Structure 1
């Protein structure tokens, strides 16, 4: 992630600045036509895996609404926004009085992105709605993602959703809707986005300046699972090498494996390794759940349950490690040891 744009991967375009979206044409049409009907829901829950364009869609729709504040006069399609327009420039710079982007804040002392969206951030929404709009335009809040709301923040958002201000619109992003408060989900209109297919992935990566005609393009696309963010981690953060090293550790035996484990743990615990550590954590969890599914399909329900419990344990331990800033190398070694004991 760049120092200038915390939370934005190297090689990516910040969602507020991105003028193109690939692979979600049906969702764009649904949002545009729902808005034009004048009967659009005040809160839309945009669901889907991380890195497939949820935030870009949210900003794209927000620009559409702010450029066409009267629903019945709005186009029935979301066109590519003009980067030079006043609305686009204001949103890109974070200077819009009509849109609030709630996401994990940056810790002023460490310069790192905090682990959660706190209630203090949500209180900004109260002040935001309390201000008088000089244009009478819509007020839009993008929660990116709602998965990062801590308990107090989630309850504070819920109170606003229960009594939404006039001409307000909430675009609530989530990678895992099942983790949200049921009461938040019930007050939102769900809009499910699917992972991008290979064609859309190639278009999105070409838009970012990557040549997907290279020798490892197919390998990257297969490993990315329809997520542009995962592809960027594979390309720009050494994700392919990390995945290969992880597989070698799990499959290996003997003293040499211990050296491989320490080498992998050193890479993942190095300075400014947050992105690749998160990649490893996701990789670890996905492989454990893959083992659980394989065991279940083979009829070994006991083994499947053990891997499912292991996945829950790993998620808890990773959260504790992050929350208490524990030694990452020891965390990685401990997790790898536990996984190897059960493979």
Structure 2
């Protein structure tokens, strides 16, 4: 678990704090129907691509059960919505509710990074949590986000709890790669597969996360493949900012000067820039492909088509062989500049 105020995940849009949900009405209906039946299964696996709202749904379900601990009281509810101003929502948002625990990679404040795995000591805290009586006499809930971050030892420790679940306990495992989980863990969960959102739903989620330029928002939505989380990464990344600089340079001049190329390549250096580098490369390839398509319609697409093929091959080779990022970017921008000048 991580309670550090410096944890980069602890922003206003953490899934624990979000009370709205887009795109998963059918999944929500399944959960509500199961709960109303009075036979709520003790463990659920929410599976699907990263960033589509699985954790948001997990906390939404937890908030609902803690607000309506008796299924009979939820009989006339048509969704799992609980308003943000409710006492339960307030306490959950502040990590102050005694009957819910989260298992996630801890934040190492000293190293200023997330740890690579969910440690067994964190799962042992969950075991102690379930060994106590519920603080408010209702459900005790554990959200694991993401379940594939469990190492072998912590996964086995969680399995022991799942095998003999206490009464009125609920485990919600969020997974982006469900195939990586122990088969014995998967077999004890009801699996609920969630699908990517459509563009309108993605836009609706992003609209609650700040102001963005329309053209940047449209690009992020298009490239996100139905993942608002991915779209937000694209909007906020330095990789996207360097790409926007490149696009401005391309629109202003017939060629890209060497100083500008070096500035972009140098900016994407560094161990902490791996994700930004990947985003820049993704945007660059999409951009060149778009120019090639538009140029082809005008009968002039050969140079950019060749550039797209050459840059794509170069980036794939660089990733496979772990080649120098700086030189890879410089080479790609030189190929792009040559295509523009042709």
Same topology, TM > 0.5: yes
| SS at 1:142 equivalent | strand
1:179-211 alpha-carbon deviations (Å, 9 max, x no partner): 111111111111111111001011111122335
**Conserved? CA contact 1:245–1:264, under 8 Å:** no
Alignment of 1:95-114 (within 5 A): 95-114=96-115
**Conserved? CA contact 2:45–2:191, under 8 Å:** yes
1:108-149 alpha-carbon deviations (Å, 9 max, x no partner): 422321111110111110110112224221000000000111
Query: Which segments of 5 or more consecutive residues in structure 1 lack a partner in the other structure?
Result: 247-255, 288-306, 318-329
Structure-2 change in CA distance of 1:278 and 1:6 (3 Å): farther
Distance 1:226 1:276 in 2: 20
**Conserved? CA contact 1:64–1:78, under 8 Å:** no
Q: Which residue of 2 aligns with 1:6?
A: 7
Alignment of 1:178-193 (within 5 A): 178-193=179-194
Distance 2:162 2:150 in 1: 14
Q: How many equivalent residue pairs?
A: 288
Q: Which residue of 2 aligns with 1:67?
A: 67
Matched, 1:152 2:114: no
Distance 1:231 1:161 in 2: 35
Structure-2 change in CA distance of 1:268 and 1:225 (3 Å): farther
Alignment of 1:327-342 (within 5 A): 333=325
Say which one has the larger Rg. Answer: 2
Structure-2 change in CA distance of 1:162 and 1:221 (3 Å): same
**Conserved? CA contact 2:104–2:144, under 8 Å:** yes
Matched, 1:176 2:213: no
Q: Which residue of 1 aligns with 2:93?
A: 92
TM-score scaled by structure 1?
A: 0.72
Structure-2 change in CA distance of 1:163 and 1:277 (3 Å): farther
Structure-2 change in CA distance of 1:280 and 1:216 (3 Å): closer
Distance 1:95 1:190 in 2: 29
Distance 2:62 2:327 in 1: 42
**Conserved? CA contact 2:144–2:172, under 8 Å:** yes
Structure-2 change in CA distance of 1:188 and 1:263 (3 Å): same
**Conserved? CA contact 1:46–1:193, under 8 Å:** yes
Quick check: 74-83 or 45-54, which moved more?
Answer: 74-83
Alignment of 1:1-343 (within 5 A): 4=5, 6-8=7-9, 13-75=13-75, 76-211=77-212, 214-241=214-241, 264=265, 267-269=268-270, 273=273, 276=276, 333=325
**Conserved? CA contact 1:102–1:144, under 8 Å:** yes
Q: Indicate the RMSD between aligned Cα atoms, in angstroms.
A: 3.7
1:70-94 alpha-carbon deviations (Å, 9 max, x no partner): 1232144324322222211111111
Distance 1:48 1:245 in 2: 34
| SS at 2:160 equivalent | helix
Distance 1:156 1:335 in 2: 46
Instruction: Quote how far apart the aligned CAs of 1:332 are.
Output: 5.8
Query: Which segments of 5 or more consecutive residues in structure 2 lack a partner in the other structure?
Result: 247-256, 287-312, 333-342
**Conserved? CA contact 1:125–1:141, under 8 Å:** yes
Instruction: Quote how far apart the aligned CAs of 1:335 are.
Output: 12
Structure-2 change in CA distance of 1:215 and 1:243 (3 Å): closer
Structure-2 change in CA distance of 1:187 and 1:279 (3 Å): farther
Distance 2:266 2:166 in 1: 49
Distance 2:180 2:220 in 1: 29
